[in-house]
Every structure is written in structure tokens, then in C-alpha cells.
Structure 1
Amino acid sequence: MIRNIQSILACVLIGGAAVATLSACGDATERARDAHLVVVTTATSNEPQAAYPAALDRLVTIAAQTGEGSMQILVSRGARVDSVGAPVDLVIRRESGDIENDPAEIATRLPALLNTISSRLSNVASNAPTLDLLAGLNESVRRDAGTIVAMSSGLQTEGLMDFAAIGWDFSNAEEIQKLREGGFLPDLSGRRVFFAGLGRVAGQQPALPEPMIRKLESFWMDLCAAGNADKCEVVDSGEATMPAASTVPAKIVTVPSFALPEFSRDTHQISLDSSALFGPDSAELLPGVIGELNTLARRLTSLGSAVDLTGHTRRVGPAEGARELSTSRAQAVADALVSGGLHRSKIRTVRGVGYDEIITPPNAGPDEMAQANRAVIIEIVR
């Protein structure tokens, strides 16, 4: 767990001076910001045990150099956020109680401090049925700290940003605006925010494909920027090999998996779920769907009929952008069918309508309507 302390100290030492300062790493305001850290973790049963990010070593080391450093660990338990014990004193002291300023002595004693922090983090368990990183960030800004380290999968399942409810094909800007209007966007002004563990899941939560991990990262980076943070960064979360300390079952976010719809010679229309075919905001087919599309190409070939493909999206984002995305997705499906053996002459038209032509299933509620329009429709021409 412990990294190369001497290399970390290099940025905060001045030549061969006996006294370490932070003047090489910033002015007095930056030193005050560097001194106090908040680590907020969600620690549900659907996340691996919190792995100690390498970036935290560096942050703790720099805080120790200020002679006034402290760290508060918070855990989000659904919408409630609790402190995990008393704040950790990051000041290295001599036996007399005076602040240690000998760089060599600090380097010798830092590993014990880092191990103490790592041990405390590894035992954190939210035992909550939902994950609420937003609540954790909002509570973090109420603490007197200039640096926030968020250790979480980021798979929010509470409040307005519940991924289980809104799905994956949403506009970051639109959802962040809803949070702002609802008073839930954290004010991160003057703070640095580091995210570790985004997209890393465990327990009953299905693993996320890479495009969904990228979507998570982009959302939290955009939210951090919208909160006016001085710095927003996704950092390596380290190796997470231990199961979660939390034992309470937590809410699952569905990860769409593509299954070929049943159809026969009498079928006139096939609806392909685009949320299972593509990553969020993407027209690149997920690797796991190619085999199913190859099967579909063979079955369409056996019918001997021509087909028309139309891409749809649910009502999200600018209309022109929705048309472009739906067109690209329909074309990607068409190209995959040709690669799978369907003769290109059998594809009459490929178009995308975004949300201009809403699909309205009978008696459908908002969620069913949204799902029905996350689709590439194949019309079989008789």
C-alpha cells in the first residue's frame, strides 16, 4: 500500500534544507487548502472494499508538511452522511508534542500514518440500501477542507440522479441543471476534488461495460465542473481485491444486455433495444452484441425480404443531435447485418428520426415510453 515516500516528498522540500516547507508547491492560500482533507466514501455492498488510491498518499504527505494537516472520513448512508470517527491528525509530532520538521524523520514516520488511514478506510461500511455520492459531496463542502477525495463507484441510486430510474442515455447538462434547480448541486468553489473507483462494482451489481464507465466518469467530471471546483480529476483507485465490508443488500442498476427478439415469417417489425446495443451517447456497437446481430442477419436472409431501418431516441438533448445519433446507430446496425451475411441490396433505407416520431405503446407510462423509443426499428418489407 505504501508508495515511494521520498519521491512524494521531493516536491515539498527545498534543496538540502533541514526544514520542509510547501513554498515549492504553492502560496499560503494553497498551503491552507492542502492542509485539510475530506475523504467521502459510499461503501455499499455493491462496491468492493475501498481500495487506497495512490493519490491519497501524496495528498496526505503534502498535508503533513503544512504542520496543521487533518483528515475527516465521511460515509454516505443513503441520504444520511456520517463521520467515521474523529478527524485524523496529519501532523507529525515529536515526543515533546512539538511539530516535526525534519524531512528524514517525517519520511520515516509517514508509513505508519498512511497505514492507519488505510486500515480505517478498509473497515468502512455504509450498510445502506442505496448509494448517494451526491449527499456525500454536499456534506463534504460543509467541512473546512480544501481537498475532497470521493471513493465511490459513482453509481448513484438515490434522488434525482438515480441511475436505476433514468437509465444511461441522458444528457449530463440537462440532469445537472435539474440538480442545480433542486438545490442538490454541491458548491465546490475553491476546492480540489478527486474521484477514485468510478465504475468499480461488486456484489449483486452487474459489471459495467467500458462505455458505461466512461459515461459515469464524464457525468461526475461535468458535475464537478458545474460546481465550480478548482480542480476535478479521476484518479487510479488502486487494486480492489477484497469484498465489501457492507452486508446490507443495495439497490441494483440494470446493465442492459442484448437479446434477439423472437420473430417469425409473419413478423413485420423488429425493435432492437439501442440501450443494449450501444454505449451511452455512442453509435459504436458493444462487442457482445455482434454474435446476436450475425444471427439476425442469417434469419433475415432466410426470409428473403428487404428491410428498412429507423433509429429512434427518447426525448433527450437537442433535436438535431438526437437525429444524428439515431441515424448513426441505425447505420451501425445496417453495417453489422451486412457483415453478418445480409446482402446490402436487401437494405432499402437507413434513417434516424431522433424523437421526431415518438413511438407510443398502448397504456405506456413515462418509463415504458422512454424504453420503447430507445430503439432501432427494422421494418420487414413484404
Structure 2
Amino acid sequence: MSRRLALALATAAVLVLGACSSGDDSSGGFASGGGGGAPLSCPVPVGPMAIAVGGRANEPEPGLPGAVQQAAITVVSGAADQKVQPKFTVVSVDGRPTVAGSDTYRTDAGNAIAAQDDQNAFLSGLGDAISQLRAQTPEADTLGALTLAGRSVQGSRPGTVVLVDSGLSTVAPLDFRTEGLLAAPVQDVVSSLRDANALPSLNGATVVLAGIGDVAEPQGPLDTSQRASLVALWRGIAEAGGASCVAVVDEPRSGDAPSDVPPVSTVALPPPPTITPGRSTALPDDGSVGFRPDTAEFRDENAARGVLGPFADFVKQGPTHRLALTGTTARAGSPASQVDLSTRRAEAVKGLLVSLGAAADRITTKGVGSQFPGYVNDVGPGGRQLPGPAATNRKVIVDPTA
């Protein structure tokens, strides 16, 4: 396996830079006796497996977390017992995802020791091939790679699709350079992809997500809220694509990105809101201070308290310190419903500020729906809502005066 898969990678002009790990490990980065790491929350079927991973810019060097190694070991070790020959496929995540190599695990070993040798040799080749993977095309089409991996495991037996990537795709229709997309509700993004016929076909596959939100310079790091939003989004995409079970590997990936690979645009990450007297501050509709879709309920009230603490402190600093809160929305529903929702969200922010000790009589609220300066068109062809711009328009604007 390792000879053929490595050859496929070489013919794709992949640069060979070494194995997954250093030392005398003969299994290509696979831990002896098991992959280590926390067990997956999903069962791993003994069937085809496709691993989408990128040796690309803005990502740590390619490799497999321990839980993913264990999943591959489970498939290989169960193949003889179930008399199957599972196919393994490696998909390269870059601007134009491709199948970098594939092979089928077979063994005719006559005893347990020989069978273990065959398993180790196969896994060694898989680990080596992944460590050698290098992007060939600029940018990162993570959605396209997931789609290609899903196609690679279709067959008579259930399969496993593994995505090892930061998840920060930079290719349409899922381009996180689009302002607001990272903060958009999962259901909005999924609906948009469904309308574009762009959801991956993962019919009945187990999907494993690893490294989501883990980046390398020059990409700026995601905070806890941003990473949680990104994980939820990819989970939602996999579930909407028909995955039977989705497991998220929390084992972090770290290290530098590979050198001499095509560039990938960085995704601008909004800084946390800060308060400055005389200057408007927008509280974005994200995981830290955002709301559940179509409600005035915070997604994470504790996170919102952390963001709003300095704003409450500002009001408490003097009797002339005041806040004016203006709620805004996307252009969805009637104008009256937009005003109602934006008003309730402004009131929710006020309520949290008051609970933090701010004087209620020094905070005013109003809702203006989608009628406000700076509104970004969030309605596309056919009246479909655009998730990124829509998320940008959902906010509470704070005007502090002293």
C-alpha cells in the first residue's frame, strides 16, 4: 500500500518532506498498539475511509490526531474478521481538492504475527503519505474536499469520512472572508448551501472533524467563541449532508505551516467590542454576545456577561455616563417584525447591563429593524437571504456618552 500510495502522491508533484513523526516509529506516525487520544463519540464502521487533510498555508503540518489514528487502526484490524477489503483514500485540501492517493487494504497472512505486520505496513504507508501531502493550488476549498471525501466512501458498506482542517475555507460558496459568515447561524448557512446544491453527499457515513479552528501564522488565532461557532457550522453541514454520526476531535493541532506551498488568504477575525465615549460600538451577533435565531435570548449568557462587563462599569463610573442602545436586524420578515425583534434584543442587552450593576435610567433602547445607516444588502437572487451580510446586519449598536 505504502509504495503505491506514495507513488500516487509523487506523480501529483507532492513534495516529500518526511514522516509524520520523528524517531524510530515504523508505523508512519501511528502509535504502537493504538492511536491514543480520547475515543471517538461515533462508532467506526469497518468499511471505506477517506481522509481529507491539507498540507497548506495557514495550517499546521499535516498529520493525524491520535483519535483519527485509532479509527484507521479499527478499520484495518477489523477487516480480516469481517472478510472485507476496505479502501482508503487521501484527499488534498487546497483551492482545488483532488484525490492524492488511494489503496485497498488486503492481507493473506496465515497467523496473527504476520497479520499484525501487514497492518503496520499499511498504516505506515498511510501515515507517510499524509505527512508528505502538499497543496498544489492557492486558497482552501474545505467544503469541496469534504464533498470529494464523501463521494470516495460511497458503496455497499458504511464508510468513514475524516476532515483534518482548520475549517477556514476561502473558496465560494463557503468563503469565510465574507464578513459576518463566521458568526452566521448554522441553519442559515446550511439553507444557503442547500439552495446552491452545495451540501456534501455523506449518505450514512460516520464523519470525524479534527483540527477545526486550529491555525498557523499568518492566520490569526480564533477565540473560544469563534472556534465553537466554526465547529458547530461544520457539524451542521455534515449532518445536513446525511452523516449518520458526527464526532468532533478536541485534540489540538499546533505547529508551523508547511513551507513552499501556494498562498491561502487570511480570514479577518473581528476584535472583541470595546467601549470608547463618543464612539459607537457594535455588539455583533456572534457566539459571545449574539442571540439565538429569531429570538432575544443570548446564545451564551455567561459569554455575553464577560463582553458587557466593561460597558456596565462605564455607566457606574459617573452620574453623567449614559448608553444608548439601538437594535438592528437583517431584512427578513415584515418591517414591523424587524423593529419588534431588534427592540427586544436591545432590551435584552439593557437587562444584562442592569444585572451587572448599571443604572437602568441611564440606558435607553430602541429598535430600527433593517432601516439603519450602514445596512448591507443581505438579499440575493430570488429573495434568498445571504448568511454573511445578514449576520453583519444583526447587532446592537452602543453609543456611550460621558
Q: Normalising by the residue count of structure 1, what TM-score does the alignment of the two structures yield? A: 0.73
Q: Which residue of 1 aligns with 2:194?
A: 180
Checking the alignment, whether the CA contact within 8 Å between 1:153 and 1:199 is kept in structure 2 is yes
Task: Classify 1:279/1:107 alpha carbon distance in 2 versus 1 (closer, same or farther; 3 Å).
Answer: farther
Q: Which residue of 1 aligns with 2:239?
A: 225
Q: Which residue of 2 aligns with 1:196?
A: 210
Among candidates 53, 77, 88, match of residue 103 of structure 2: 88
Among candidates 148, 158, 161, match of residue 171 of structure 2: 158
Q: How does 1:14-53 map to 2 (within 5 A)?
A: 34-53=46-65
Deviates more, 1:222-231 or 1:287-296: 287-296
Task: Classify 1:295/1:119 alpha carbon distance in 2 versus 1 (closer, same or farther; 3 Å).
Answer: farther
* Residues 298-334 of structure 1: per-residue CA shift (max 9 Å, x gap): 7xx4572443333434457996776655543444455
Task: Classify 1:348/1:326 alpha carbon distance in 2 versus 1 (closer, same or farther; 3 Å).
Answer: closer
Q: How does 1:266-281 map to 2 (within 5 A)?
A: 267=278, 270-274=280-284, 278=288, 281=291
Aligned residue identity for 2:320: G
Checking the alignment, whether the CA contact within 8 Å between 1:310 and 1:377 is kept in structure 2 is yes
Checking the alignment, whether the CA contact within 8 Å between 1:35 and 1:62 is kept in structure 2 is no
Q: Which residue of 2 aligns with 1:328?
A: 348
Bigger-Rg structure (1/2): 1
Q: CA deviation at 1:143?
A: 2.0
* Residues 155-206 of structure 1: per-residue CA shift (max 9 Å, x gap): 1221122121042331211221121121111121121111111111112111
Checking the alignment, whether the CA contact within 8 Å between 2:91 and 2:97 is kept in structure 1 is yes
Helix, strand or coil: the match of 1:5?
A: coil
Among candidates 222, 231, 254, match of residue 240 of structure 1: 254
Checking the alignment, whether the CA contact within 8 Å between 2:86 and 2:104 is kept in structure 1 is yes
Q: Which residue of 1 aligns with 2:122?
A: 113
Question: For the residues of structure 2 that align with 1:275 and 1:106, how far apart are their CA atoms?
Answer: 54
Helix, strand or coil: the match of 2:208?
A: strand
Q: Which residue of 2 aligns with 1:58?
A: 70
Aligned residue identity for 2:57: S
Q: Which residue of 2 aligns with 1:376?
A: 397
Question: For the residues of structure 1 that align with 2:319 and 2:303, how far apart are their CA atoms?
Answer: 24
Specify every segment of 5 or more residues in structure 2 that has no aligned partner in the other structure, as ranges.
1-28, 37-42, 292-298, 379-387
Task: Classify 1:242/1:251 alpha carbon distance in 2 versus 1 (closer, same or farther; 3 Å).
Answer: closer
Task: Classify 1:39/1:66 alpha carbon distance in 2 versus 1 (closer, same or farther; 3 Å).
Answer: same
Q: Which residue of 2 aligns with 1:17?
A: none
Task: Classify 1:50/1:357 alpha carbon distance in 2 versus 1 (closer, same or farther; 3 Å).
Answer: same
Helix, strand or coil: the match of 1:308?
A: strand
Task: Classify 1:37/1:205 alpha carbon distance in 2 versus 1 (closer, same or farther; 3 Å).
Answer: same
Among candidates 308, 316, 330, match of residue 324 of structure 2: 308
Q: CA deviation at 1:360?
A: 2.1
Task: Classify 1:307/1:212 alpha carbon distance in 2 versus 1 (closer, same or farther; 3 Å).
Answer: closer
Aligned residue identity for 2:362: I
* Residues 344-365 of structure 1: per-residue CA shift (max 9 Å, x gap): 265244x474x62532249x66
Checking the alignment, whether the CA contact within 8 Å between 2:58 and 2:218 is kept in structure 1 is yes
Aligned residue identity for 2:74: I
Aligned CA RMSD, in angstroms, stands at: 3.8
- The answer to whether the aligner puts 1:76 opposite 2:88 as a matched pair is no
Specify every segment of 5 or more residues in structure 1 that has no aligned partner in the other structure, as ranges.
9-25, 94-98
Question: For the residues of structure 2 that align with 1:127 and 1:292, how far apart are their CA atoms?
Answer: 46
Aligned-pair identity in percent equals: 18
Helix, strand or coil: the match of 1:34?
A: coil
Q: CA deviation at 1:232?
A: 1.4
Aligned residue identity for 1:72: T
Checking the alignment, whether the CA contact within 8 Å between 2:58 and 2:217 is kept in structure 1 is yes
Question: For the residues of structure 2 that align with 1:277 and 1:222, how far apart are their CA atoms?
Answer: 16
Checking the alignment, whether the CA contact within 8 Å between 2:109 and 2:118 is kept in structure 1 is no
Aligned residue identity for 1:160: P
